[in-house]
Amino acid sequence: MKLPVEELNSREGMALLLKALGKGQARYVGGCVRDTLLGLPISDVDLATRLTPEQVTERLSAAGIRSIPTGIDHGTVTALIASGPVEVTTLRRDVSTDGRRATIAFTEDWREDAARRDFTINALSADPQSGELFDYFEGMTDLEERRVRFIGDPLTRIAEDHLRILRFFRFHARFGAEQVDQPGLEACRARANDLMALSRERIADELLRLLALPNPAPSVGLMLDNGILKPVLPEILPDGAARLAALTAREEVAGVAPEGLRRLAALLPPDPERAADIAARLRLSKKALKRLVSAASRSSPDAGDPRVLAYRIGTEEAVDRLLLGDGDATAAIAALHGWEKPRLAVGGGDLVAMGLKAGPVVAETLKAIEQEWCVRGFPQDVEEQRALAGAFVDRALRKDA
């Protein structure tokens, strides 16, 4: 069988890159091969080569192709061509591993390089000129049968890189059939505590990528049933997979794109303090922490006018809360489509000009005006806003009289 390489080869700048590396010196590898065979859109294109990083850099420079030594110690040079960056990595073999990082040596053996990859479906490679496929570990069979299987002994693969536990479930969610590979599952269950050795950033990145897939609930259910996430996220609710499935269904009905943080919130108790602790533990960004905490702050008042909720906390966070709440959120979310936060034309200075003394009463009155303006549907007529403000100022002045 051959890989249809026409689409890959037709990318702007690819022909020049392949010519610079030399015939027989490079192959398409990894995801671009797998996804081409599955008829899926290709995002990143990776090449493996027998050339050393120094040779790659020299050849690219001679061809007028800019490059970046993104991971040169591990053999990777990024070629900057018109259609996008392409990672060109020298064939490698592992000298030693500790579950987090590997010490490598360069090799000229294509099979040896393929053997250090995680799953059989990711170890496929193809000659760019002929399209000839190279399958050293029955990856094509696994691809056809939709089976995610470790190369060789699963325990050995996990010992090399503990993140492969989470990757196993992510790839199963994306490519696997209903039946999971049992040796792989058993190995992940046996070594789940190894996740504790990983940086929380790597765990968060992999978990959020899994949750952002179209239908992650079955794989997440497998993880929860087998105690995979308990060492790093013991707070996940026992019915987390069911909650995730319900959220996924609501997103689909409402026409909302999947979002990993929102789905993580579905797995966790609606407790803002606990959400903040989890976000900090996972080393999430300040923006992500704020969004997770907001989702955990959902409550029954969220069921009112969705525009008021969006005005108060932002459209993105409002959509999260609506989808995570009870009832049908479709109409509420539709009301926010294309909605832009309006601006109240009255400020504190206007209230002082109307007679209020500068101080706390100005902020209190402005807040009350804003709340009433929201309830009235955000009228944009300036005179109407000033009349509303005048009424609240009069009320404040009578109160202080």
* Mean pLDDT of the region 326-342: 90
- pLDDT bucket at 96, cuts 50 / 70 / 90: low
On the question of pLDDT at 73 being above 90, the answer is no
Q: 180-228 pLDDT, tens per residue?
A: 999 999 999 999 999 999 999 999 999 999 999 999 999 999 999 999 9
- What is the chain's Cα-based Rg? 28
Helix, strand or coil for residue 132? strand
Q: Reduced to 3 states, what is the DSSP secondary structure of residue 301?
A: helix
> Quick one: average pLDDT of 350-377?
91
Q: Is the model's pLDDT at 259 over the cut of 70?
A: yes
CATH classification number, 1-145, choose in 3.30.2080.10, 3.40.120.10, 3.30.460.10, 3.30.390.10: 3.30.460.10
- The pLDDT of residue 94: 76
pLDDT of residue 99: 63
* Residues 6 or more apart in contact with residue 32 via CB below 8 angstroms: 8, 42, 44, 45, 46
In this prediction, residue 130 has a pLDDT band, given cuts at 50, 70 and 90, of: very high
Q: Tell me what pLDDT residue 140 has.
A: 97
Q: Tell me the average pLDDT across 84-99.
A: 85
Checking if the pLDDT of 287 tops 90, the result is yes
Per-residue pLDDT band for 100 (boundaries 50, 70, 90) equals low
Percentage of the chain surpassing pLDDT 70?
A: 97
Q: For the structural domain made of 151-234, what CATH number should be given?
A: 1.10.3090.10
What is the mean predicted confidence (pLDDT) over 171-185? 96
pTM: 0.89
Domain ranges of the chain: 1-145, 151-234, 236-330, 348-400
